[in-house]
Chains A and B, each alone.
Chain A
Amino acid sequence: MSYLNYTHLAPELIVAIMGLAVVFFGLFIPTRFKRGLGCISGLALIIAILEILRNGVLWESQRVATYFYDAYTIDSLSQFFKLVFLSVSFIVVIASTRRYKESRYQDEYYGLLLFATLGMMVVASSNDLLTLFIGFELASMSTYALAGFDKTNPKSVEAAMKYYIIGSISSAILLFGFSLLYGATGTTNLEAISAYIAAHGLASTTGTAILVFLVAGFTFKMALVPFHMWAPDTYEGSPTLISALLAAGSKKMGFVAAFKVFIVALIALKLDMQNVFFILAIITMTYGNLVAISQKSIKRMLAYSSVAQAGYISMAFVIMTPLAVGAGILYVLSHAFMKTGAFIAVGAVVYMLTREKKNLPDADHLDNFAGLSKRAPLTAFAMMIFVFALAGIPPTAGFVSKFVLFSSAIHAGYITLVLVAILNSALSLYYYARLVKYMYVLPPAGETLREPRAYLLAMLVAVIVVIAIGVYPAPFLEWAMNAATTMGL
C-alpha cells in the first residue's frame, strides 16, 4: 500500500482531464472542427482501456491499492467494470462522431459522455458510501442531460423528464438507506460496516428497513420489475446512442454498486437478500420477456429485453456462490457489448431512414426492418449477431455467459430458478427470431441505403468482442472470477 503512487488512477485521470478539456476547448473551436473533439474523446477512452489491460490488475485476485483513506480501491472487480464502462462509451463515441457531426453542441455532448463514464468508474472503485453516492450521482446527472440531448424532439425531452424524476427519487431513497446504514453502524466504509455487523450484529427490524430502502434504490437503476417503469420510456425516447449508454453502462453501474453494498457490506443479511432477489429475478425475467413480445418499436423491444436480461444477472444475488457471482459479472460484460451493439445497429437504421426523410415519426418500427438484409446488408448482419447473442445462441458471448450462470445455479441447487430462466430464454427467442425473420425473409421495404462508416466501425468492435467472448472465454472468465474473489465471498 503505497501512498504516493497514483499510477493506478491513470484511467480516471485521463477521462477526467479529457472531459474538462473537451468542454473548455469547445468554447473556442468553430462548429465545423468540433468533430475532432469526438475523435480525441475516443482516443482518450481507448488509451484508458489499454492502460487497464496493460497494468495487469485484472489478473490479480487480491486488492492492489487503496487511496484516500480507504475510500477508493483498485482491484480486479473495479478494473473489470471500468473496462465495461470505458468500452461502452468508446463504442458510443465512435458512432456519435457521425450522428452529431454537424451539431453545435458536440463539445457538451462529449463532455457529458466522458463525465458519465467517469462517474461510473468512480462507483466501480468506491469502497465508501460517500464515494459511491458521488460517483452514482455524477453518472446519473450526466445521463439525465444526455437523454434530453435532442432537445427539439418532444420524445427525447419527455424521456429525459421521466428518467430525471425516477432517477432522483431512486437516489433520494438510496441516500435515506445510506443514512440509516450509517446510523446503525457509525461508519460509511463498506468493509468497516461489514466488520461492525459481524462484531455487534444488527437488529432484524433495522436490517429489514435498510434492506428495503437499498433494494428499492438500486433496483430502480438496475431496472428490475417493479421498478422498471422508466426504462422502456427512456430507452425509446432518448437518442438511440444514448439508449445504448443507458442500457449498457448506466444499468451496469447499478449492478456494480449493488455488488459492493450487498455483498461486501451487507453479507450478514444474505438470507433476506436471497429471498428478495429470488422473487425479483423471477418476476423481472418473465415480465420483461412477455411484454417484449408485443412490442412493435425495436428500441422498446430491446428495452424490455434488457429488463429481462437484468433479471438473469440478478440471479447472482440469489445464488451468491463465488462461481455464480463471477458468472453474473461475466454476463454484465457480454450483455454490455451485445446491448450496445444492438442499440447502435438500430441507431444506424434510424439514422439512415431519417437522413432521407426528416421527422419520420417511428423510424425504429419493426416494419422498417423488413428486408434490411437487402437494403443494408452489413447492419442487418451485425444486428443478427447481436440478437442471437442476446437470445444465447453459440458461439456468442450470450451463450457462454448464460451457460456459466445457469450451471452455477444448478451446482448450487436452485433448480426452480434455472427452469424459469431457461423457459424464459426459449420465450425470448420468439421476438429475437421475429426480428431476424423481418430482416432476412420479408421483401425489402424500400431502396438500398448507404451505411454510415462510423456506425459500421462501432458495430464491428462490438461484434468482434461478442464473438471473442463466445469462442475463447477463458481470459474473460478468469477476470470475472478474480473479480468475484476480491469481494471476499
Chain B
Amino acid sequence: MVPLNYYLLLSGVLFAIGIYGLISQRNGIRILMCLEILLNSANLNLVAFSSYHGNSTGQVFALFSIAIAAAEAAIGFAILIALFRVRDTIDLHNINILRW
C-alpha cells in the first residue's frame, strides 16, 4: 500500500502546477484547465485522507466536488463564449476595460 505522504506530495505538486498555470497563462481555455487541476488536487487529498482514516466521508465529498467542478467548467465556457462574441478574443491580457 502506498503511504499517505506520496499522495499528499502529488496533490501538493498538482496544486502548485495549477497556481503556476493560472499566473503564467493568458489563454482562457488554459486558465480553465488550470482551475480543474487545482480542484482535482483537492479531490486527490480528500480521497487519500478518506482511505487513511478508513471512513467514507472524504470520498463522498470528492464525488460532490467533481460534480461541482463540472458545473463550474460549464459556466466558465459559457462566459468565455459570451466574451468571444463581444470581443473576438479569449486572450485574457486584452480583457482590460475595467481597471482602477
Residue ranges of A at the interface with B (Cβ–Cβ < 8 Å): 129-130, 133-134, 137, 141, 144-145, 148, 151-155, 157-162, 164-165, 168-169, 171-173, 175-176, 178-180, 182-183, 186-188, 232-233, 236-237
A130-B35 in contact given A154-B97, A155-B97, A168-B76 (Cβ < 8 Å): no
Q: List 6 A-B contacts (CB under 8 A).
A: A157-B82, A157-B87, A165-B22, A172-B42, A180-B45, A182-B61
Check B2 for interface membership: any CB of A closer than 8 A: no
Q: In the complex, A173→B71 CA distance in Å?
A: 17
Q: In the complex, A150→B31 CA distance in Å?
A: 23
Check B93 for interface membership: any CB of A closer than 8 A: no
For the complex formed, measure the closest distance between the CB of A24 and the CB atoms of chain B, giving whole angstroms: 19
A176-B42 in contact given A154-B97, A158-B95 (Cβ < 8 Å): yes
For the complex formed, measure the closest distance between the CB of A421 and the CB atoms of chain B, giving whole angstroms: 25
Question: Which 8 pairs show the lowest CB-CB distances between chains A and B?
Answer: A183-B49, A179-B45, A172-B38, A175-B42, A186-B53, A233-B98, A176-B42, A179-B46
Q: In the complex, A191→B58 CA distance in Å?
A: 17
A182-B46 in contact given A137-B68, A160-B79, A175-B39 (Cβ < 8 Å): yes
Point out the residue from B49, B55, B79, B83 that lies within 8 Å of A179, measured CB to CB: B49
Q: Which of B81-100 contact A (CB under 8 A)?
A: 82-83, 85-87, 92, 95, 97-99
Q: Which residues of B contact A141 (CB under 8 A)?
A: 71-72, 75
**Are B39 and A161 interface neighbours, CB within 8 A?**
no
**Are B58 and A168 interface neighbours, CB within 8 A?**
no
**Are B98 and A161 interface neighbours, CB within 8 A?**
no
For B42, B45, B64, the residue with the greatest tally of chain A CB atoms inside 10 Å of its CB is B42
Q: Which residues of A contact B86 (CB under 8 A)?
A: 151-154, 157
User: From B19, which residue of chain A is reached at the shortest CB distance?
Assistant: A169
User: From B12, which residue of chain A is reached at the shortest CB distance?
Assistant: A176
Residue ranges of B at the interface with A (Cβ–Cβ < 8 Å): 11, 15, 18, 22, 28, 31, 35, 38-39, 41-43, 45-46, 48-49, 52-53, 55, 57-58, 60-61, 64-65, 68, 71-72, 75-76, 78-80, 82-83, 85-87, 92, 95, 97-99
User: From B87, which residue of chain A is reached at the shortest CB distance?
Assistant: A154
User: From B62, which residue of chain A is reached at the shortest CB distance?
Assistant: A179
Interface contacts beyond A130-B64, A148-B79: sample of 7 additional A-B pairs, CB < 8 Å, sorted by A = A155-B98, A168-B76, A172-B18, A175-B43, A178-B42, A182-B58, A186-B55
A176-B60 in contact given A157-B82, A164-B79 (Cβ < 8 Å): no
For the complex formed, measure the closest distance between the CB of A250 and the CB atoms of chain B, giving whole angstroms: 15
Q: In the complex, A157→B74 CA distance in Å?
A: 16
Q: Which residues of B contact A148 (CB under 8 A)?
A: 79, 82
**Are B99 and A233 interface neighbours, CB within 8 A?**
yes
**Are A151 and B52 interface neighbours, CB within 8 A?**
no
Q: In the complex, A360→B61 CA distance in Å?
A: 47
**Are B79 and A130 interface neighbours, CB within 8 A?**
no
A172-B95 in contact given A152-B86, A161-B79 (Cβ < 8 Å): no
**Are A130 and B61 interface neighbours, CB within 8 A?**
yes
For A141, A161, A188, the residue with the greatest tally of chain B CB atoms inside 10 Å of its CB is A161
**Are B72 and A168 interface neighbours, CB within 8 A?**
yes
Q: Which residues of A contact B98 (CB under 8 A)?
A: 155, 158-159, 162, 232-233, 236-237
**Are B82 and A133 interface neighbours, CB within 8 A?**
no
Q: Which residues of A contact B39 (CB under 8 A)?
A: 172, 175
**Are B38 and A187 interface neighbours, CB within 8 A?**
no
A176-B64 in contact given A157-B79, A158-B98, A161-B80 (Cβ < 8 Å): no
User: From B71, which residue of chain A is reached at the shortest CB distance?
Assistant: A141
Q: In the complex, A167→B52 CA distance in Å?
A: 30
Q: In the complex, A436→B11 CA distance in Å?
A: 53
**Are B65 and A157 interface neighbours, CB within 8 A?**
no
For the complex formed, measure the closest distance between the CB of A88 and the CB atoms of chain B, giving whole angstroms: 22
User: From B90, which residue of chain A is reached at the shortest CB distance?
Assistant: A161
For the complex formed, measure the closest distance between the CB of B18 and the CB atoms of chain A, giving whole angstroms: 7
Q: Which residues of A contact B95 (CB under 8 A)?
A: 158, 161-162
Q: Which residues of A contact B52 (CB under 8 A)?
A: 183
Q: Which residues of A contact B99 (CB under 8 A)?
A: 233
Q: In the complex, A165→B64 CA distance in Å?
A: 20
For the complex formed, measure the closest distance between the CB of B74 and the CB atoms of chain A, giving whole angstroms: 9
For the complex formed, measure the closest distance between the CB of B51 and the CB atoms of chain A, giving whole angstroms: 11
Q: Which residues of B contact A183 (CB under 8 A)?
A: 45, 48-49, 52-53
User: From B55, which residue of chain A is reached at the shortest CB distance?
Assistant: A186
A158-B83 in contact given A129-B61, A130-B64, A165-B31 (Cβ < 8 Å): yes
